């Protein structure tokens, strides 16, 4: 008889693709909605991931509407602190030892006194949650493709200003079919010059071209999603050679209709091509699955062995902004998981 599969919740890993509001527990959202008198649609209360099919404009609009409703329930500093603490607790339960949570502080500024106070509340919450849970916790500030590139520059300057307070990277989110990557090149140059890691979204709703744009125009060190690179062997080779990590979110890809079934997500194609990956949960509030479930999906639907799952965890750790000493400790923990 073969040995039982190792517990994936005990595998040390880094979580590099988790959106702020999307990290919320469903029960917390329902409680906060009651507190503020916000009506929640059934898709946010049923306990089942909504069927969104965001590959068309209507589906993406519905996804954004659900996200905006959930975000409207975060109005006070205590709400922010609770969200971050609970997200950290969930990550620790799933074996995460380092989390880089992604946030556009513009979205929370109206309730929290402005852009700077909003980011400071978030960073204070991150520092407290890290201290309380033992989880390494940092922030990636993300601009919105749907807004003007000048807004992105403002956010990039703000992110750099708080690089010594826990901001480690700069991203670009929302519908990649809108807003060319090159329109945001100046914002990303500001962020890179300030020592921040470049991690824009690409290769999710559109094809390999959006990944190439992130590499060429934004000099990405990591790509949020990036799965559509699997459609271009030359691009796969480029990602592998340059060591650019794709933050792959399998459950999200299926929930949003990028792929029809879990087994259609090209995890094996990327892995076998030597493209580094960091599995992420994206928005568990909407998609239901947190971090360990992404590794379980790789095991169940793609036949990843424990040795390969351990390598995925190593790739996530290496791609993180964690200090080298922390990386070494986590990598040793992965070896220990395999040896156990």
pLDDT one-digit tens code per residue, 77-126: 999 999 999 999 999 999 999 999 999 999 999 999 999 999 999 999 99
> pLDDT at residue 1 above 60?
no
CB-based contacts of 176, cutoff 8 Å, min separation 6: 145, 201, 202, 203, 204, 205, 206, 210
> pLDDT at residue 321 above 60?
yes
Residue the block writes with tokens 């949960």: 281
pLDDT one-digit tens code per residue, 309-318: 999 999 999 9
pTM: 0.95
Select from 247, 225, 229, 249 the least CA-distant residue to 238: 229
Could you tell me the domains of the chain? 8-339 (3.20.20.140)
* Runs of H (alpha helix) within the chain: 26-36, 57-71, 77-93, 109-112, 115-133, 149-161, 185-193, 208-218, 233-242, 250-255, 267-272, 284-287, 291-302, 306-319, 324-339
Q: Which of 100, 204, 247, 296 is catalytic?
A: 204
User: Is 236 in contact with 269 (CB distance < 8 Å)?
Assistant: yes
Catalytic residue flag (residue 308)? no
Burial class of residue 125, CB neighbours in 10 A (0-12, 13-18, 19+): buried
pLDDT at 243: 97
pLDDT at 50: 65
Q: Region of 324 please: left (phi>0), alpha (psi -120 to 50) or beta.
A: alpha
> pLDDT at residue 218 above 80?
yes
């Amino acid at each position: 008889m073969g040995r039982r599969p190792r517990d994936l919740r005990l595998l040390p890993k880094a979580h590099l693709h988790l959106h702020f509001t999307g990290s919320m527990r469903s029960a917390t959202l329902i409680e906060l909605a009651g507190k503020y008198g916000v009506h929640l649609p059934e898709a946010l209360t049923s306990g089942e991931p909504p069927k969104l099919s965001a590959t068309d404009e209507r589906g993406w609009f519905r996804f954004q509407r659900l996200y905006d409703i959930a975000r409207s329930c975060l109005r006070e500093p205590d709400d922010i602190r609770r969200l971050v603490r609970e997200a950290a607790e969930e990550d620790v339960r799933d074996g995460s030892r380092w989390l880089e949570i992604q946030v556009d502080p513009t979205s929370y500024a109206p309730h929290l006194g402005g852009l700077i106070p909003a980011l400071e509340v978030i960073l204070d919450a991150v520092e407290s949650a890290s201290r309380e849970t033992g989880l390494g916790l940092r922030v990636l500030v993300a601009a919105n493709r749907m807004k003007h590139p000048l807004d992105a520059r403002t956010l990039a300057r703000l992110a750099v200003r708080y690089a010594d307070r826990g901001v480690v990277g700069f991203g670009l989110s929302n519908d990649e079919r809108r807003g060319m990557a090159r329109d945001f090149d100046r914002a990303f140059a500001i962020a890179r010059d300030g020592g921040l890691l470049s991690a824009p979204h690409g290769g999710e709703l559109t094809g390999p071209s959006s990944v190439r744009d992130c590499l060429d125009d934004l000099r990405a060190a990591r790509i949020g999603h990036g799965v559509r690179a699997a459609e271009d062997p030359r691009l796969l080779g480029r990602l592998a050679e340059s060591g650019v990590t794709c933050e792959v979110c399998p459950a999200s890809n299926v929930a949003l209709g990028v792929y029809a079934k879990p087994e259609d997500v090209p995890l094996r194609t990327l892995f076998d091509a030597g493209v580094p990956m960091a599995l992420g949960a994206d928005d568990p509030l909407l998609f239901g699955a947190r971090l360990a479930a992404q590794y379980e999906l790789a095991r169940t639907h793609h036949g990843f062995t424990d040795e390969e799952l351990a390598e995925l965890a190593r790739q996530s750790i290496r791609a993180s902004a964690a200090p080298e000493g922390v990386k070494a400790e986590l990598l040793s923990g992965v070896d220990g998981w395999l040896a156990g």
